[in-house]
DNA sequence: AGGTTCAATGTTGCATACAAGATGTAAAAC
DNA sequence: GTTTTACATCTTGTATGCAACATTGAACCT
């Protein structure tokens, strides 16, 4: 991957967003992290205008939020927002599989390749790639089923989920996740969409269960939690 | 509703988007319609900058698109994109109901109120309000079930669906739609989420079936279609 | 008349300038 | 030593200016 984003940011207006999404999926950008306009404009070699436009789009996608005259920050979902996000994901992905007719052999092949890549990243100990691929599996699934609209929605929801997992110190095992992905593909291959949907439901419940809703790494939330316990 | 948007656009940065979404849901903005930056900036009494930022957000939400140095246009989904959008909606809404536990009496009441409003708008012959309410029912459903994330996703998807219906001259009867909404609530009231999901599936299939995928009102697409038939 | 060129106009693309407010720091007051 | 205040700095909020391109229409040539 090239490191000189400067030249490309002009030609591809979505480069900034793509990079930020990718970094979030890879766990290289943490929830609560500040994304200064000036900072980004220097990194990408463009003016603040383009950065700002990218941030507006990311805001609409629920990835960043702005605090007036303080800066842009990667979202730090509350426990409630986290639940809603994962619930929405579950609804979408279960619905996607339930309303599915049939998966072609070519689709199965693509998905198997993806899981193989996941396994490789896990074996190599490449944490960033591992995080990215485990999240991207769901986007890949939607893409493979041939619906770009679903894929786009899932990209945003999975990105938010990865941020939630980082914020609430998910203990979800990568191996287990990868295995569950394989199981879903198995069911799809056997033409059993209902079973695939059930497995997806279980998978996403595991994802949520692995969260530790008590340990919030955010400074502010952490403080709130701490003060709540000290008997005020 | 006040007509002087000038004062408020500064205080509420999302006003422009909200107005455009509402206008689209009401059928007052047609697919393919041009939304000039200057034009909007005069209407809302702000500079092009704010308009542009709103357009960026609407772009990320899939409501408008930009043609380089020509202008912003309300989306005109192709037949394929239309199918994907409605499929995504069906997946989301069916999944939402399938994964639902129980609907409280208060929720049922809210939804019944909404359907009553639909009936009133139909009776009054208020086409804009009717269009808005029939679309907004689905957003209302998600809100009522208590998930703002789902509600937000559905607002965008229903807006796109309304635009699709306008583009492909939907013949879906308002009365029928309204009746189907009532049926879904009945099932929810009886605690039968599975049946509610099934009815939602049927409802959205009706919505799609009512489209005339041949009659595209877009000038360009129309021409394309015409030339394809003349033996080239 | 039909087609071509070219200028005039209108629109977005992008950068920059300045305003307004938030934050952090050091001086001053007590 | 502590609190308060004022200031310096940093960040986003908004408007504006100019460049680059698309479109349109008229003049012009054939």
pLDDT of residue B2: 47
Tally the residues of chain B.
Answer: 232
Q: Considering any atom of strand D, list protein residues whose CB lies within 7 Å.
A: A 35-38, 48-49, 52, 66, 68-72; B 10, 13, 46-50, 68-70
Q: Confidence class of residue B229 from pLDDT cuts 50, 70 and 90?
A: very low
Mark whether B91 and B172 lie in a shared domain.
yes
pLDDT digits (tens, 9 = 90+) for B111-140: 999 999 999 999 999 999 999 999 999 999
With a cut of 90, say whether residue B203 has pLDDT above it: yes
Nearest CA to A162 out of A24, A6, A12, A14 is that of A24
**First and final CA of chain A: distance in angstroms?**
52
CB–CB contact B57 A56 (8 Å): yes
Mark whether A200 and A145 lie in a shared domain.
yes
CB–CB contact A60 B60 (8 Å): yes
Best A92, A95, A193 member to test B by mutation, with max B CBs in 10 Å, is A95
CB–CB contact A98 B90 (8 Å): no
Q: At what angle do helices A37-44 and A48-60 cross, to 10 degrees?
A: 110
pLDDT of residue A101: 81
Nearest CA to B37 out of B24, B22, B54, B52 is that of B52
**Residue B73 — φ and ψ, nearest 5°?**
-135, 140
Q: Please tell me the pTM assigned to this model.
A: 0.92
Q: Give, in order, the Cα–Cα distances in Å from A63 to each of B96, B128, B139, B163.
A: 22, 33, 21, 26
- DSSP states of A30-99: -TT-EE-HHHHHHHHTS-HHHHHHHHHHHHHTTSEEEETTTEEEE----HHHHHHHHHHHHHHHHHHHHT
Mean pLDDT of B71-86: 96
Locate tokens 């269960």: which residue?
A: A209
Q: Return the bridge partners of A34, or none.
A: A73
**Residue A66 — φ and ψ, nearest 5°?**
-115, 140
Mark whether B166 and B61 lie in a shared domain.
no
**C-beta of residue B47 within 8 angstroms of C-beta of residue B56:** no
Q: Confidence class of residue B32 from pLDDT cuts 50, 70 and 90?
A: very high
pLDDT of residue B58: 98
CATH number at residue A142: 1.20.120.530
Nearest CA to B181 out of B228, B98, B79, B112 is that of B112
Tell me how far apart the alpha carbons of residues B180 and B201 are, in angstroms, rounded to a whole number: 11
For residue A69 the two structure tokens come to: 């005259």
- Bases in strand D with any atom closer than 7 Å to a protein CB: 11-17, 20-23
**E-state strands within B2-84:** 34-35, 64-67, 71-74
Mark whether B22 and B91 lie in a shared domain.
no
**Residue B74 — φ and ψ, nearest 5°?**
-65, 140
Mark whether B58 and B159 lie in a shared domain.
no
Mark whether A67 and A167 lie in a shared domain.
no
Mean pLDDT of B208-214: 91
Mark whether B69 and B83 lie in a shared domain.
no
Q: Give, in order, the Cα–Cα distances in Å from B99 to each of B143, B168, B194.
A: 15, 32, 9
**C-beta of residue A137 within 8 angstroms of C-beta of residue A161:** no
Nearest CA to B115 out of B188, B170, B18 is that of B188
Residue ranges for chain A with pLDDT beneath 50: 1-2, 229-232
A157: in domain:
yes
Rounded to 5°, the CA angle B6-B10-B14 comes to 100
Chain A interface with B: residues with Cβ < 8 Å:
52-53, 56-62, 81, 84-85, 87-88, 90-96, 98-99, 146-150, 152-153, 201
Mark whether B68 and B90 lie in a shared domain.
no
B173: in domain:
yes
B1: in domain:
no
A1: in domain:
no
Q: What share of chain A is helix, strand, coil (3-state, %, to 5)?
A: 70, 5, 30
Mark whether A165 and A62 lie in a shared domain.
no
A129: in domain:
yes
Helix, coil or strand: residue A128: helix
- Bases in strand C with any atom closer than 7 Å to a protein CB: 10-17, 20-23
| Interior/surface letters B168-181, b for 16+ CB within 10 angstroms, e for the rest | bebebebeebbebb
With a cut of 70, say whether residue B191 has pLDDT above it: yes
Mark whether B194 and B93 lie in a shared domain.
yes
Task: State ipTM.
Answer: 0.92
Last residue of a domain, one of B74, B93, B115: B74
B89: in domain:
yes
**C-beta of residue B134 within 8 angstroms of C-beta of residue B128:** no
Q: Confidence class of residue B230 from pLDDT cuts 50, 70 and 90?
A: very low
A56: in domain:
yes
Measured between beta carbons, the chain A residues lying within 8 angstroms of B60 are: 56-58, 60-61
For A151, the domain range is 79-209
Comparing B84 with B216, the larger pLDDT belongs to B84
B36 CB and strand C closer than 7 A? yes
CA A11 to C1' C10, in angstroms, rounded, equals 24
Helix (H) or strand (E) holding B2, with range, is none
Last residue of a domain, one of B74, B90, B122: B74
Q: Report DSSP state, residue B62.
A: T
Mark whether A63 and A110 lie in a shared domain.
no
| Contacts (Cβ under 8 Å, ≥6 apart) of B187 | B193, B195, B196, B199
**First and final CA of chain B: distance in angstroms?**
52
Best A21, A59, A60 member to test B by mutation, with max B CBs in 10 Å, is A60
Mark whether A186 and A130 lie in a shared domain.
yes
CA B82 to C1' D23, in angstroms, rounded, equals 30
Domain count, chain B: 2
CATH number at residue B67: 1.10.10.10
Comparing B97 with B218, the larger pLDDT belongs to B97
B56: in domain:
yes
Last residue of a domain, one of A42, A74, A106: A74
* Number of CB atoms found within 10 A of residue A162's CB: 24
């Amino acid at each position: 991957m090239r490191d000189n984003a400067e030249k490309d940011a002009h030609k591809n207006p979505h480069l900034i967003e793509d990079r930020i999404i990718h970094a979030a999926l890879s766990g290289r950008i943490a929830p609560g992290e500040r994304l200064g306009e000036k900072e980004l404009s220097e990194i990408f070699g463009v003016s603040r205008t383009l950065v700002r436009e990218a941030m507006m789009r990311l805001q609409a996608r629920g990835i960043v939020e702005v605090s007036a005259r303080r800066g842009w920050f990667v979202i730090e979902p509350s426990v409630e927002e986290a639940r809603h996000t994962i619930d929405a994901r579950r609804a979408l992905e279960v619905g996607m599989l339930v309303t599915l007719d049939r998966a072609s052999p070519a689709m199965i092949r693509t998905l198997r390749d993806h899981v193989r890549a996941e396994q490789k990243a896990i074996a190599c100990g490449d944490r960033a790639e591992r995080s990215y691929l485990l999240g991207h599996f769901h986007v890949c699934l939607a893409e493979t089923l041939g619906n770009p609209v679903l894929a786009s929605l899932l990209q945003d929801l999975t990105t938010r989920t990865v941020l939630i997992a980082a914020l609430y110190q998910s203990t979800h095992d990568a191996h287990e996740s990868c295995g569950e992905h394989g199981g879903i593909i198995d069911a799809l291959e056997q033409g059993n969409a209902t079973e695939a949907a059930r497995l997806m439901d279980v998978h996403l419940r595991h994802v949520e269960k692995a969260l530790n809703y008590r340990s919030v790494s955010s400074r502010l939330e952490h403080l709130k939690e701490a003060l709540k316990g000290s008997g005020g």
